[in-house]
Amino acid sequence: MFPIRPHRSTGTFSSASGAAAALLRARAAEWDVELIETPDSLTMHVWGSELCLIPGDGIARIELHAPEQRLIAIMQDSATELFESHGMAINWDNVDAGALAPGLALMRLVSCTRRTPGFIRIRVQGPEAERFAHSNLHFRLLIPPQGRAPIWPRIAENGRTRWPEGEDALHRPVYTVALQREDWVEFDIFAHEGSPTCDWAGRAQAGDPVGLMGPGGGWCPEAEKLWLFGDETALPAIARMLALAPGAVRAYIRANAEDLAELAADPRVTRCDNLAAALDSAPIEAGEDLHVWFAGHVNAAREARRQLLARGLNKRQFTAAAYWGQPDSRA
Ligand SMILES: Cc1cc2nc3c(=O)[nH]c(=O)nc-3n(C[C@H](O)[C@H](O)[C@H](O)COP(=O)(O)OP(=O)(O)OC[C@H]3O[C@@H](n4cnc5c(N)ncnc54)[C@H](O)[C@@H]3O)c2cc1C
């Protein structure tokens, strides 16, 4: 069955022969996504959508096809950035200039409650809440600066997203949808030192505006056997995947026992203090239909990637995601 991609956008730009094609090839390799080349065109498949480049004599055509209008606008932004950075400005036939940035849902805070000693549960409400329950687990939370009226990102004439800057700049951390019902979304913030998001949660009032951008970041991996490893920041994602996984699952979570909440009674879950050691001793067999999912500090994710490759897994058999922190250059 062919995927349904009813939304479309087209544009043209001047390009030296081969230059645009070379850029698209490099981007597909960097993102590790499929690129189909024919003698006349290159088609990159990403986010369930496609970007088709038709190089010509001094002028290139670009065509976008997507299942949702939001994805068209995201691809316009991304393609404009890619080609403009190499001096090729795209003339889009249609740009929704002035509209809110693609995927941005404006919501209001309903409540902040202490869910467990280490986690704050936030509920936000808005008419677009429902779409945060499907196809992707995560979103970007947009928090306006304290004491200022929010300036939300909007689409500029060239198709790029224009973000507020300076005093109007938004804080933009990524979170995981914990629960979605009716017109609300809930998510869990791990409370830690030096967190602008926790500071916001501490002072925010019901009715305060926030933005949710997404959803994005993928769904539960499909495999007969799923291995999950993560720290506190990954706990909400692991809880979702435990509920969604079609096959056998084992999860190792580095968190305080009382923060596991209902997961403490789940026989598939093991609490641990050292994720690297848990990964090292797990009986993971590269030959099986499996997926290993690991998320935590950037250095821990880097080490997990190294370890899993060394154990013979191919890149499609695992995810090693940096959920927080700056890379340690010595690691
Ligand atoms: C796909 C994805 C999904 C995520 N889902 C969740 C989720 O559901 N719940 C959740 O709590 N987090 C989640 N995270 C992690 C979250 O985005 C980061 O922890 C983020 O840094 C939080 O923003 P902040 O405002 O607290 O701190 P920032 O402004 O980003 O950072 C401030 C300081 O806090 C430090 N810091 C950040 N996280 C931690 C931590 N966990 N422990 C100690 N210090 C820290 C930073 O290194 C920095 O020094 C997710 C991340 C990703 C990529």
Distance CA 68, CA 50 (A): 12
Instruction: From the options 3.40.50.300, 3.30.310.50, 3.40.50.150, 1.10.40.30, give the CATH code of 7-92.
Output: 3.30.310.50
- Tell whether the model's pLDDT for residue 139 goes beyond 90: yes
pTM of the model: 0.93
Residue 59: CB atoms within 10 A of its CB come to 12
Q: How far is the CA of 235 from the centre of ligand 1 (A)?
A: 12
| Residue 229, φ and ψ in degrees, nearest 5 | -135, 130
Q: What is the pLDDT of residue 48?
A: 87
**In sequence order, what are the residues at sequence separation of 6 or more whose Cβ sits closer than 8 angstroms to the Cβ of residue 179?**
185, 186
In short, whether 116's Cβ falls inside 6 Å of ligand 1 is no
- Tell whether the model's pLDDT for residue 189 goes beyond 50: yes
Q: What is the pLDDT of residue 329?
A: 55
pLDDT, tens only, 246-258: 889 999 999 999 9
For residues 288-316, average pLDDT: 96
In short, whether 145's Cβ falls inside 6 Å of ligand 1 is no
| Residue 252, φ and ψ in degrees, nearest 5 | -120, 120
Classified by CATH at the fold level, domain 225-324 comes out as Rossmann fold (3.40.50)
In short, whether 78's Cβ falls inside 6 Å of ligand 1 is no
pLDDT, tens only, 67-121: 989 999 999 999 999 999 999 999 999 999 999 999 999 999 999 999 999 999 9
CA-nearest residue, atom 27 of ligand 1: 195
In short, whether 188's Cβ falls inside 6 Å of ligand 1 is yes
In short, whether 319's Cβ falls inside 6 Å of ligand 1 is no
Return the ∠ at Cα 275 (arms to 269 and 281), rounded to 5°.
80
Percent of the chain having pLDDT more than 90? 89
Q: In this structure, what DSSP letter does residue 164 have?
A: -
Q: How far is the CA of 173 from the centre of ligand 1 (A)?
A: 7
CA-nearest residue, atom 32 of ligand 1: 195
Q: What is the pLDDT of residue 2?
A: 55
In short, whether 187's Cβ falls inside 6 Å of ligand 1 is yes
Classified by CATH at the fold level, domain 104-216 comes out as Elongation Factor Tu (Ef-tu); domain 3 (2.40.30)
Distance CA 133, CA 233 (A): 19
C-alpha of 27 from chain center = 18
The string of DSSP codes covering 175-193 is EE--EEETTEEEEEEEP-T
Q: How far is the CA of 300 from the centre of ligand 1 (A)?
A: 14
In short, whether 190's Cβ falls inside 6 Å of ligand 1 is yes
For residues 7-32, average pLDDT: 91
pLDDT, tens only, 35-70: 999 999 999 999 889 999 998 888 999 999 999 899
Which residue, 132, 195, 196, is CA-closest to 170? 196
Q: How far is the CA of 322 from the centre of ligand 1 (A)?
A: 10
In short, whether 216's Cβ falls inside 6 Å of ligand 1 is no
Residue 324: CB atoms within 10 A of its CB come to 19
Residue-range domain boundaries for the chain: 7-92, 104-216, 225-324
Per-residue burial over 266-278, b = 16 or more CB atoms within 10 Å of its CB, e = otherwise: eeebebbeebbeb
- Tell whether the model's pLDDT for residue 263 goes beyond 70: yes
Q: What is the pLDDT of residue 3?
A: 66
Q: Order of strands, edge to edge, in the sheet holding 209-216?
A: 174-176, 138-142, 209-216, 104-116, 119-125, 184-190, 179-181
Q: What is the pLDDT of residue 246?
A: 87
- Tell whether the model's pLDDT for residue 208 goes beyond 80: yes
DSSP element (H, E) containing 69: helix 69-84
Q: What is the pLDDT of residue 330?
A: 46
Measured torsion, CA atoms of residues 214, 298, 122, 47, in degrees rounded to the nearest 10: 10
Tokens of 259: 């923060």
Contact of 124 with 204, CB cutoff 8 Å: no
CA-nearest residue, atom 41 of ligand 1: 233
Residue 47: CB atoms within 10 A of its CB come to 19
Name the average pLDDT for the chain. 94
**In sequence order, what are the residues at sequence separation of 6 or more whose Cβ sits closer than 8 angstroms to the Cβ of residue 305?**
294, 318, 320
Q: How far is the CA of 119 from the centre of ligand 1 (A)?
A: 12
Q: What is the pLDDT of residue 331?
A: 42
Amino acid at 275: L
- Tell whether the model's pLDDT for residue 4 goes beyond 80: no
In short, whether 176's Cβ falls inside 6 Å of ligand 1 is yes
Q: What is the pLDDT of residue 278?
A: 97
Q: What is the pLDDT of residue 16?
A: 77
Q: Tell me which of 263, 323, 328 to substitute to probe ligand 1's pocket, judged by most ligand atoms within 8 Å of the beta carbon.
A: 323
Sign of CA dihedral 309, 314, 317, 322: positive
Q: What is the CA radius of gyration of the chain?
A: 21
Q: Order of strands, edge to edge, in the sheet holding 42-46?
A: 35-37, 42-46, 49-55, 59-66, 7-14, 91-92
